[in-house]
Structure 1
Amino acid sequence: MTPPTPRSGPTASPADHPPEQSEPPEAAEGSSSRWGFAVTVLCDIVLPVGLYYVLRAAGTGEITALLLSGSAPALHTLHSAIRHRKPDAIGVFTLALLLVSAGASLMTSDPRIALARNGLFTALAGVWLLVTLFTARPFTYQALRTLLPGRTAVLERLWETDAAFRRVWRGLTVLWGAGLLCDALLRLVLAYTLPVDTVPALDGALYAVSWIVLQIITQVVLYRTRTLTKIFGDRMPGRRAFSPAGTDGGRGAAADRAD
């Protein structure tokens, strides 16, 4: 993961696009976020798991099936780099991790090394989130700003003047960082204790379980601290849940917005 960085685009004048004919910025942003999340789930979870079991059913060996099934996330990362016309650190790291794990698996003839790479990536992502606690703005707050670009001024005012608001986003950063570390530990346990053919399906399911648990806790915190009321006042957002991962679709799509 990388901290999502809002990308500025060309702005049109009111004369060019009448307000009544324009799509609400938050609606457009929400639609883009949901689409990006769906693409990431497809490329980074559904396709790798499905491809692995298709290859195994066709008689492909464990290591070969694992390496080929990892091509979908790799191609997704390459597409992101090409789309932004420049390599980004997280994209280079993702590809390097895939190549290193592939090489190590081939040299040692151990498929569990390939299985463990997701745990390693998730652990490093969790550590990175915790490191942002020592920066000016923690990761979850940066994710919030990307999710709500039209309310940047309100968010910055709250950040500068409301200590409780700052504690909420620092606390949520700790929650997601620690949650990813626990997720990574479970992945490593699965990779080295269960039959190889069992792990890919459980690995994919674990992403869903971890995200749902962290998302529920996040929403409870935001509700109990009235943080959303501070941001939106009496007008609550249109049923869009905040998610640090969801702003860019999770681990693969985080690279899409990294500068």
Structure 2
Amino acid sequence: MENNTASAPGGARSFDRRSMIISLLLTAIFDIGLAIAIFQIAKHQFGATDFVAYLVASIGPVVGALVGLARTRRIDGVAIIILINLLISAGVSFIGSHDAKTLLLKDCVLTGGFGLVILITSIPIFPKPLMFFFGLKFGTDGTKEGAGQWYRLWDTIPQFRRSQIWLNNVWGIGFLAEALVKAICVFILPYGAAYAVNQIAPFVLLAGLIYYSMRFGMKLRREGEARRRAAMNAAVQRPSEGTAR
């Protein structure tokens, strides 16, 4: 049987494409699909309140996290993020009335609350920032070996740790900024315009954050390659200098 895992230069482990596809499919099925299905069934078939429906829907990402734990022996970051969003949504469901503008403000609270959670995880009392686990999902192939390599980068390379904290803060501030912009629009714009901003802003933000993260990651990769080349050149020169003496 063909093995899709190839050795990358320098002994680094490359992606197993098949395993990565399986990992993404499991996320779509359990973390997203199951959560949506359970929410809809609880709300529309059993008449549950939004609060109860969100809590019951959290079974989806919990199952997804357990599946990820079984596959990689690591916590699934996407499942954690979706679970946090569901729990914040459950809390936000208690806020105020259900008129149109209040619903938009609830969405602002949800967005800002998620951004605040991301920023809080940068505090050193937490072992790793939340976006580290997001990167674990989309920066590896979802296998035990791929996850182990991601953790080793954190444990052994200070630049990697700093970059993860930096990206975590960028994403957290981005969500807080989105919440602020949407809230201001709710207060100063007619409902139709505020609703349009509410729908468009998340896509603009995510596109910007993903683009920045990709460019930032490529920059770090180039710097890492430059450091490795410099170290190899230094290692080659040292024996040569000893021979010359």
Does the 8 A contact of 2:115 with 2:171 survive in 1? yes
* Deviation of 1:93 (Å): 3.3
Residue 199 of structure 1 is matched in structure 2 by: 194
Output the CA distance in 2 between the equivalents of 1:118 and 1:197.
15
Q: Does 1:144 align with 2:135?
A: yes
* Deviation of 1:76 (Å): 6.7
Output the CA distance in 1 between the equivalents of 2:223 and 2:55.
33
* Deviation of 1:30 (Å): 3.0
Greater alpha carbon shift after TM alignment, 184-193 vs 24-33: 24-33
Does the 8 A contact of 2:85 with 2:114 survive in 1? no
Cα distance change of structure 1 residues 30 and 173 upon mapping to structure 2, 3 Å threshold = same
User: Counterpart of 1:207 in structure 2: which amino acid?
Assistant: P
Residue 57 of structure 1 is matched in structure 2 by: none
Residue 97 of structure 2 is matched in structure 1 by: 105
Does the 8 A contact of 1:81 with 1:91 survive in 2? no
Residue 223 of structure 1 is matched in structure 2 by: 218
Does the 8 A contact of 1:187 with 1:203 survive in 2? yes
User: Counterpart of 2:57 in structure 1: which amino acid?
Assistant: H
* Deviation of 1:186 (Å): 0.5
User: 117, 122, 136: which is aligned to 2:106?
Assistant: 117
- Unaligned 5+ segments in structure 1 are 1-17, 44-69, 231-259
Structure exhibiting the larger radius of gyration computed from Cα positions? 2
* Deviation of 1:144 (Å): 1.8
* Deviation of 1:209 (Å): 0.4
- Unaligned 5+ segments in structure 2 are 5-15, 38-48, 64-82, 226-245
Cα distance change of structure 1 residues 117 and 38 upon mapping to structure 2, 3 Å threshold = same
Cα distance change of structure 1 residues 217 and 92 upon mapping to structure 2, 3 Å threshold = closer
Output the CA distance in 2 between the equivalents of 1:220 and 1:131.
24
User: Counterpart of 1:144 in structure 2: which amino acid?
Assistant: G
Does the 8 A contact of 2:30 with 2:61 survive in 1? no
Aligned residues: 178
Q: Does 1:81 align with 2:59?
A: yes
* Deviation of 1:203 (Å): 0.7
Residue 126 of structure 1 is matched in structure 2 by: 115
User: Counterpart of 1:165 in structure 2: which amino acid?
Assistant: F
* Deviation of 1:215 (Å): 0.8
Output the CA distance in 1 between the equivalents of 2:52 and 2:179.
20
Cα distance change of structure 1 residues 175 and 26 upon mapping to structure 2, 3 Å threshold = same
* Deviation of 1:138 (Å): 0.8
User: 152, 172, 175: which is aligned to 1:157?
Assistant: 152
Greater alpha carbon shift after TM alignment, 138-147 vs 74-83: 74-83
Counterparts of 1:38-117 in structure 2, within 5 Å, are: 78-81=56-59, 84=62, 90-98=85-93, 100-101=94-95, 104-105=96-97, 111-117=100-106
For each residue in 1:128-163, what CA deviation from the matched residue of structure 2 results, as whole angstroms up to 9, or x when unmatched? 111111211111112222333321221122111111
Q: Secondary structure at the match of 1:105?
A: coil
User: Counterpart of 1:181 in structure 2: which amino acid?
Assistant: L
Output the CA distance in 2 between the equivalents of 1:82 and 1:32.
11
Cα distance change of structure 1 residues 207 and 173 upon mapping to structure 2, 3 Å threshold = same
For each residue in 1:20-40, what CA deviation from the matched residue of structure 2 results, as whole angstroms up to 9, or x when unmatched? 699821121134446789869
Does the 8 A contact of 2:101 with 2:191 survive in 1? yes
Does the 8 A contact of 2:32 with 2:61 survive in 1? no
Output the CA distance in 2 between the equivalents of 1:146 and 1:121.
23
Residue 176 of structure 1 is matched in structure 2 by: 171
Output the CA distance in 1 between the equivalents of 2:111 and 2:100.
19
Output the CA distance in 2 between the equivalents of 1:226 and 1:121.
34
